[in-house]
Each structure stands twice: as structure tokens, then as C-alpha cells.
Amino acid sequence: MFKLKPISLYIHIPWCLRKCGYCDFHSYVSKEIIPEKKYIEHLLKDFEKDLYLINNREINTIFIGGGTPSLLTANSIKKLLNGIKKRYMVSNNAEITIEANPKTLEYQRFIHYKNSGINRFSLGVQTFNSNLLKKIERTYDSKEVINAIIESKKISDNLNLDLMYGLPGQLLEDALSDLQFAIKYNPSHISWYQLTIEPNTIFYAKKIKLPDEETIFNMLIKGNKLLKKSGYKKYEISSYSKLNYQCQHNLNYWEFGDYIGIGCGAHGKITQKNGKIIRTIKNKNINDFLTGNYLNSIQVVSEKDKIFEYFMNIFRLYQPILKKHFREKTNIDESLIKKNIQIAIREGFLINQLDYWYTTKKGKNFLNLLLEIFLK
């Protein structure tokens, strides 16, 4: 029988005050009062319908993402988390994260969120530069960002700041200044990632120009050095943390762990006792979701897709890839990917050891080329 480990829970809140031009996440602009009471009721019903897939595994991380989850009142968050815990086993020391906007009204709710069980906050800062915030269509200014960080630090030591580099009109010194500001406030975790323009976004339609590749590369190299010097360890392509503050929920994704996804447009991945992996996708249409039509699709992941998805996630991490771990997570023997591994080694992307593989610096720098090998 396939050995099953604890599972994570992702909860999607689909509303935003404004759709940012670069955003390709599933969300709705809130032009009127959010039907949060009704949505929470349906989230819990959606959760109940997925329980048969879990096979009595404890939930050890919960992530409330969006959209902008901090638009919800503290009472709604409390009802949601209490409802989850009444219906299923949640670890006493579970990591429970909420994504939040640095808007004044929203960060004033943080103390109430903590009282509801939230123990990790993730602030979508993006930049401390007010002019750049306008360019990327955020709804707050640098003063609100700083106030939100100060208030969050009073409430919790477990604070992540989301920052982006390669913004329209951003200079190298701007990107480094953002990091210096973030480091000054000593968050436990910094997510620092490059802005990319996806095809189904407003910025793509407008053909928004980003800094040249050389400037972006310099931002990455010098930013990495600054973060390392300041005590932040890079454990994933865009994630840096103080000791023992890695995001456990995201680590579960990158280690090809299992998670339930509830809410409008949410995705789930759940391994069964026979080793099969089930993928669930929830209905993106909010009106349909609020009538009880939760599930859009459910399917068994093929062996080919399992292999690719495993490496697509695990290659993001800065750690050895245990061959035993590959077998445990995919229920596939590594002999099936022997030729792919040999090609990756020959290209200088991987190093092969007795019990593990290790991604080289070249492999990290040309990750897309490395992944293409596992598509074959």
C-alpha cells in the first residue's frame, strides 16, 4: 500500500479591489459588497465534498490566497477556520497563512485574524516605490506599505513580504532599494521574484515594456548577494528565509506533496492509497459556485505528467533530490527516467550520486531547458 503523508489545504478568495495589469490569477473586481457569508458557507460545503479523497490524513498547513483574502472580515475568517476544524483533523501546530494587502482598512484587521488562528501573514508589497506602485496599478502607496509592515510585526514574527523586480521603468538601484527597505524591517521571509508578462493580462495587451535582460540579471545577482549577506537563505528560486521560517505550505507544493483546493477556481492534488494521483479543478464561475456547482473537473494524472510535474516542482528547490523521494511521491521507479537523467547529466544540468541527484548552477540558470528533457 502506498504510504500517505499529511496534507495541505488551499482556500481561494477570488475578490480584489482592482485587477492589476500584470495579474493572471483567477479573481473578480469587487464593485459592490462581497457575499462573504454565503461564500464561506459554500467553501465549507466544497471542503466536505473533497474529504472522501483525503484518506484520514491530518492537515498540517492552510493557505488562504486570492485575490485579496484580507478583504474578508475577521468574523468570516474565524467562521471559515472554525468550520474547517469542526469537519476535519487540523494539526495543533499547523502553519496557517493569509495573503494580505497593505491597504489601511485591511491591515487593521490583522490582530483579529491572529485571534482566529492565523499564525503567518504574507504581505503583497511588490515595491516600496510609490511611483512604481502606480505603474503596476496597486491600490496603496509606500506609506501604507510601511505602516502595514510595522503593524504586522507587532502581531506576528512570522511575516513574509512579497517583492517583485524587473518592473516597468525600474532601475537596478530601485530594486536593491526595495530589498534594503524590506531587510530593515526584518521579516522572517522574503519572496522576491521577477515580473513576467503573461499573455492573458492587461499588460500583455498594452505591450508594457520591462527593463532589458542585462539589467534584470544584475538585479537578480546583486539582490541575491544582499539577501545572503543579510541572513536570508535562498531555499527556492524566489524564496528567502531566516532560519526555520521556510513556508511549509509552499514547500509541500515544491516537494510534490498533496493538497486540497477549495473555492472558486482552486486546484487540488491528492494521492490515493493505490499510488494514483487525482487532480481537481473547481468551478471558476462565481455565480455557479454559489449555487453549489463546485467541481469543474477531476482526473487521474498520467505517469508521464507525474514525472514532469514532479521535476517541475522539485527543481525549484536548492537541495539534493533523493531518488527515494522520487519513488515515494510518484510511485514510479527511477529506471523509467534513466535516459532523461543521462541527457540532463550530459548537458551539465544534473549531477548523479548514489542516492540523489543535484541540480548544477547551469541547471538552475537554464531551468526551462532542463525541464524540456523530462517532457520527452
Residue with grid cell 499588460, as numbered in its chain:
203
Per-residue pLDDT of the chain (376 residues; tens, 9 = 90+): 566 889 999 999 998 776 666 666 666 666 567 899 999 999 999 999 999 999 899 999 999 998 889 889 999 999 999 999 999 999 999 999 999 988 866 777 888 999 999 999 999 999 999 999 999 888 889 999 999 999 899 999 999 999 999 999 999 999 999 999 999 999 999 999 999 888 877 777 878 899 999 999 999 999 999 999 999 999 999 999 999 999 999 999 999 999 999 999 999 999 998 999 999 999 999 999 999 999 999 999 999 999 999 999 999 999 999 999 999 999 999 999 999 999 999 999 999 999 999 999 999 989 999 999 998 7
Q: Where are the alpha helices (DSSP H) in the chain?
A: 36-50, 74-87, 104-107, 110-115, 130-135, 142-155, 172-184, 202-206, 213-229, 248-254, 286-289, 303-314, 323-330, 338-346, 361-365, 367-373
End-to-end CA distance of the chain: 29
Please report where in the chains the cell 534584470 appears, as a residue.
Answer: 216
pTM value is 0.94
* Distance, CA of 289 to chain centre: 23
277-314 burial string, b = 16+ CB within 10 Å, else e? bbbbebbeebeebbeeebebeeeebeeeebbbbbbbbb
Map out the domains of the chain with their CATH numbers: 7-252 (3.20.20.70), 320-376 (no CATH)
User: Which residue type, as a one-letter code, is found at position 33?
Assistant: I
How far, in Å, CA of 345 to CA of 349, rounded? 6
DSSP-derived letter for residue 264 is T
